[in-house]
A and B are shown apart, each in its own frame.
Chain A
Amino acid sequence: MSEAALKPQDLMVEMRGVNKWYGDFHVLRDIHLDVKRGERIVICGPSGSGKSTLIRCINHLEEHQQGDIVVGGVPLTQDVKRIEQIRRSVGMVFQHFNLFPHLSVLENCCIAPMWVQKKSRKEAEGLAMQYLERVRIAEQAKKYPGQLSGGQQQRVAIARSLCMHPDVMLFDEPTSALDPEMIKEVLDVMIELANEGMTMLCVTHEMGFAKTVADRVIFMDQGQIIEENAPEPFFNTPRSERTQLFLSQILGH
């Protein structure tokens, strides 16, 4: 299928000339990004390069000041109803998991389906158990987040997002806060998810993950997209000097 033949809905996320400032600080500069349905994108770059801010703009956790963002055919505006509609179809996984500590693992997964999608408790619990099984943590369903390891918490967070049946998943450095021995269990879940065809935007420094699953790798620096390419040419023949420097720093040790 050629690019021109795509229906608008086949583009899950469109960012056109997006700019954002924190006060005087220009965090995002003229961002253009199209994400097709089923596409897996890894975003990397030095800290402070705006990669987290970029994906947080997609579900309006951060507000952009210029340019257009369209998610699943719905333009993102200031309208609260519109924002909530977009957020229901966009899952997000955070660096620090952000599970709700006062709710059990099962309740963490049920709360949004029940209160946002108005599912019955029975239906929501069935759904939650199904996804908890998929992230291989169903046996901990009655526990509270504080009783789980970091890797387990992050897998619960992924299940919690999946319970809303999102069209896109955003991952904001999902393994950065984990002890080294727990990174693999989270990445394995993410790889499975990618293989099932989930549209994913993932901010991460896990270059092995990028090589395995990404359709495209994006390198950002100082609020701009410097380079984007398929993983193989991206890692083997980076074109920009800054990309080369970054890759040598991150892969060099």
Chain B
Amino acid sequence: MIHHNEMIPQRPAPRHTLGPVAWLRTNLFSGPVNTVLTLLALYLLYLLIVPTVKWAIIDANWLGSTREDCTAEGACWVFIKARFTQFIYGLYPRSEIWRANIVFVLFFALIAWLAIPRLPLKRWVALFALVAFPVIAYVLLHGGHFDLPRVPTHRWGGLMLTLLLATVGMVCALPIGVVLALGRRSNMPIVKSFCVLFIEFWRGVPLITVLFMASVMLPLFLPSGITVDRLVRALIGLTLFQSAYMAEVIRGGLQAIPKGQEEAAAALGMTYWKRMGLIVLPQALKMMIPGIVNTFISLFKDTTLVMIIGLFDLLGIVQAALADSRWLGYSLEGYTFAALMFWIFCFSMSRYSQYLERRLNTGHKR
């Protein structure tokens, strides 16, 4: 028996399943309970948003330069304006800020270049960013060469310091994490136990302890006469701490790659490092983007802890400014500003990772 001699032509979907009204009806007002919850949520949003907008924008004070220019009803953004340079550069000498600005511009330009897929010469730009840029940034920020006056690291601060700590931490923690993760899966007992011990040690200790140890204990063990800069010590502590977390994230990714991948690579005569570098890691890292970015974001926020060893990162410098007797009572504005800055960077990282995931996923599905 033949049911159909001709193919049934495609028909459009029924009307009531398409369009914004249908979306509202199915998602927000599909039944009495859902309708009540929707209205309740809208009311709560109203309670929350209206006063916030009123305080932060409508009643806020934007003009002026002293606290006398501020009224009591709204936020006093004048405070942020007056202290803005400090929040960004810390105690970096005003006359030398152009040096920090060059580094900032170069930094964001490099990131943009690497992040936008259309731009060419990725490999060379990446090489420049990893090799030449740190040298340029060090020479410019620290000075002491080419007639640039020296600016000791304890004067660095604000957003600049936060970005420095976070960037160095991320760039160093990722490769160390990869090596530790591979080491933990190694067949060689000494390598394996070293990596397990290292990872478990750093994961078992709070970051605050690590930073305290780096700033207080380490100098006691170093031979007299040898001093390591406090910022460098904090950087090393932060990097080692985050690399342990990174290692576990990457190990998870490595485990998700089927064993057949490494076998196929081995059967083609590839050495261990080629199997890892060309076949296993590219797949694992792609899968691990959410976990890696998660670690990056937590690292970015963890940089605020350097406050307790006397480094003034963005949050530290905001807090210091709050203690200024001329600006007492504006902590809400100060913390809002700090929170907003952190949120912008963390949210950008999160969005970029989502974009990257989508882009790398096309056509690669198993």
Contacts and interface: CB of A to CB of B under 8 A. Distances in A.
Interface of A: 59, 61, 80, 84-85, 87-88, 90-92, 94, 96, 98-102, 111-112, 115-116, 143-147, 157, 160-161, 164
Contacts of B271: 80, 84
B264 A98 contact: yes
B279 A100 contact: yes
B267 A92 contact: yes
Contact of A61 (B266, B270, B286, B366): B266
Nearest to A163: B268
B365 A101 contact: yes
Given A61-B263, A102-B283, A115-B274, A88 B363 contact: no
A130 to B, nearest CB: 18
Contacts of A80: 271-272
A87 B263 contact: no
A146 B362 CA distance: 10
B263 A102 contact: no
Interface residues of B, number: 23
A116 B270 contact: yes
Contacts of A111: 268, 278-279
Contacts of A91: 267
A157 B265 CA distance: 12
B5 to A, nearest CB: 25
A144 B364 contact: yes
A147 B266 contact: no
Contacts of A144: 363-364
Which 6 pairs between the two chains have the least Cβ-Cβ distance?
A: A88-B269, A98-B264, A112-B268, A98-B260, A92-B267, A87-B269
A135 B260 CA distance: 22
Interface of B: 258, 260-261, 263-272, 274, 278-279, 282-283, 286, 363-366
Nearest to B271: A84
B269 A99 contact: no
Given A101-B366, A146-B364, A116 B268 contact: yes
Given A84-B271, A100-B279, A94 B364 contact: no
A96 B264 CA distance: 10
B90 to A, nearest CB: 43
A127 to B, nearest CB: 14
Contacts, number: 73
A90 B267 contact: yes
B264 A59 contact: no
B364 A112 contact: no
Given A96-B260, A116-B274, A101 B267 contact: no
User: Interface centre among B263, B267, B274, B364, by most A CB within 10 Å?
Assistant: B267
Contacts of B261: 98, 100
Given A94-B260, A102-B286, A111-B278, A87 B365 contact: no
16 contacts: A80-B271, A80-B272, A84-B270, A85-B269, A87-B267, A91-B267, A92-B267, A98-B263, A99-B264, A100-B264, A100-B279, A102-B364, A111-B279, A115-B270, A115-B278, A116-B270
B133 to A, nearest CB: 28
A99 B270 CA distance: 15
Given A112-B268, A115-B274, A115-B278, 9 more contacts: A80-B272, A94-B263, A98-B258, A98-B260, A100-B265, A111-B279, A143-B363, A146-B364, A146-B366
Given A61-B263, A96-B260, A98-B260, A84 B363 contact: no
Nearest to B267: A92
A148 to B, nearest CB: 11
Contact of A84 (B260, B269, B279): B269
B16 to A, nearest CB: 36
Contacts of B270: 84, 112, 115-116
B266 A116 contact: no
Nearest to B362: A144
A143 B364 CA distance: 9
B266 A87 contact: yes
Nearest to B277: A115
B364 A101 contact: yes
A147 B361 CA distance: 13
Nearest to A99: B264
